[in-house]
Amino acid sequence: MSGEIRRQAEAVSAARDHYAGAKSLVDDAYHEWLEMTAILHTAAEKAKAEVVEAEDSLREMALTIYRDTEDKHPGPGVEIKQRQMLLYDPGEALAWAVEHGLALSLDVKAFERHAKAGPIGFVEYRNEAMAALAQDMAKALE
């Protein structure tokens, strides 16, 4: 059995080395591509910011016209739509949701923190075996 597990550990080490080499080639090619296209990326980001600024300005103009005229089509390609907004106190909303058993989900991380800190009657505590592999398998094989 000991020889069998060593051969498998060697196979893991070789597979990791192969992956590291392949990933290194991909990473190098990606960084080279980023360098070659940096000017294009900068130009695209600038153009995107210009679009956002122009759209925001058009929206502001359209809303101003709508407030003054109630015209829902204040210009070409522009339409004013209504949407219902909900404004509420989050604390009151949570109290209502608890009372009605709605709109709740378990915060798993918080619950498990509490469960690990002290026993909770309905939680089953059990240890489960896991196999952990050395990060540097080649070193472990030495």
The C-alpha atoms of residue 20 and residue 7 are separated, in whole angstroms, by 20
pTM across the whole model: 0.52
Give the three-class secondary structure for 47.
helix
Listing DSSP states for 46-63 in one string gives: HHHHHHHHHHHHHHHHHH
The C-alpha atoms of residue 60 and residue 57 are separated, in whole angstroms, by 5
Rounded to 5 degrees, φ, ψ at 75 are -170, 170
For 97, residues 6+ apart whose C-beta sits below 8 A from its C-beta are 103, 104
Each residue's pLDDT expressed in tens, for the chain with a length of 142 residues = 689 999 999 999 999 999 999 999 999 999 999 999 999 999 999 999 999 999 999 999 999 999 999 999 999 999 999 888 877 888 888 888 888 777 677 788 988 898 899 888 888 888 888 888 888 888 998 8
